[in-house]
Amino acid sequence: MKTAIFLANGFEEIEALTVADLLRRVKIECDIVSSEDEIEVMGSHGICVKADRMISQMDFSEYECMVLPGGMPGTKGLESNQYLMSRLDEYIKADKLVCAICAAPTILGHKGYLNGKKAVCYPGLEGELAGAETPECEVVRDGNIITSRGLGTAIEFAAEIVKAATDESTAENLLKTIVYKQY
């Protein structure tokens, strides 16, 4: 399942890079994509990341999954990119996998995509998940949408994406390999 992780200036570094790292460990093709006018994107904590490609260089039809990391003002930067938001609409309509962590699930809430679904986000932002049921857990998959609470849940978030893209066994083996919690 070819995956694109979208970065805007002010993205949360660990949320983006953990997903890229863990997907690549299990051989899921994963591109880090700049939604900015530059190939280098500045994280919310001053870490500059060179993306694999620019959003303008993408053929969205080649990708089955998009990941939206949180962070501020990165989340606002993603949401204000009308080209990316149009592609998000297409992914939702095509039932492709859409994954958002931390503040980024609010983008899905603002667009009405969480109505009647289970979803989580950074604590305190639940009111922006319009119509969603917000269970007390770290990661939720409801249909083609995966959401997670924040930086501290980035490994579980990535493992859930791996599970959706491959299978439960691959995700469990990944967690064992990286010596994650009880695995």
pLDDT tens figures, 11-64: 999 999 999 999 999 999 999 999 999 999 999 999 999 999 999 999 999 999
Q: Is residue 182 a part of any domain in this protein?
A: no
Q: What pLDDT is recorded for position 182? A: 65
- Sign, CA torsion 15/31/146/98: positive
Q: How far apart are CA 62 and CA 41, in angstroms?
A: 23
The one-letter amino acid at 114: L
At 64 the pLDDT is: 97
Measured in degrees and rounded to the nearest 5, phi and psi for residue 41 equal -125, 135
- How confident is the model at residue 83, as a pLDDT? 97
State the residue range of the domain holding 98. Answer: 3-177
Give dist(CA 89, CA 163) in Å, integer.
23
- Low-confidence residues in the chain, pLDDT < 70: 182-183
Q: Give the model's pLDDT for residue 168.
A: 97
Q: What is the pLDDT of residue 181?
A: 82
Count of domains forming the chain: 1
* 70 in any annotated domain: yes
- Rounded CA-CA distance 154/138 in Å is 9
List the CATH number of the domain containing 97: 3.40.50.880
Strand, coil or helix: 132: coil
Distance CA 21, CA 3 (A): 12
Which amino acid does the sequence have at 143?
G
pLDDT for the residue numbered 155: 98
Task: Identify whether 183 is part of a domain.
Answer: no
